[in-house]
């Protein structure tokens, strides 16, 4: 006879599409707000701009992947 496999009672909850999208967009908006507070001549401005561009690209890829 086969041994019964143990099933985990505590399975992780899957995040729905809308929740994940909302989380990603909120993160982008927060970073964009902090970018707007910086002066364009500041050295942190370029780093923040790159971070915002990466977050925007991540959101675009997520939308294209889940259409």
The tens-digit pLDDT sequence of the chain (67 residues) is 777 777 665 555 567 888 999 999 999 999 999 999 999 998 899 999 999 999 999 999 999 998 7
State the total domains in the chain: 1
Q: Is residue 3 in some structural domain?
A: no
Which one, of 49, 25, 27, lies nearest residue 37 by Cα?
Answer: 49
Q: Domain range for residue 26?
A: 17-65
* Overall pTM > 0.85: no
Q: Is residue 30 in some structural domain?
A: yes
- Length of the chain equals 67
Phi, psi dihedrals of residue 38, rounded to the nearest 5°: -80, 150
Q: How far is CA 48 from CA 38, 45, 65, in A?
A: 9, 5, 26
Q: Is residue 10 in some structural domain?
A: no
Q: Is residue 38 in some structural domain?
A: yes
Question: Are 52 and 32 in contact, with CB atoms under 8 Å apart?
Answer: yes
């Amino acid at each position: 006879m086969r041994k019964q496999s143990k099933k985990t009672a505590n399975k992780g909850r899957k995040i729905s599409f809308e929740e994940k999208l909302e989380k990603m967009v909120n993160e982008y908006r927060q970073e964009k707000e902090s970018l707007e507070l910086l002066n364009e001549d500041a050295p942190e401005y370029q780093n923040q701009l790159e971070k915002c561009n990466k977050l925007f690209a991540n959101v675009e890829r997520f939308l294209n992947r889940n259409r």
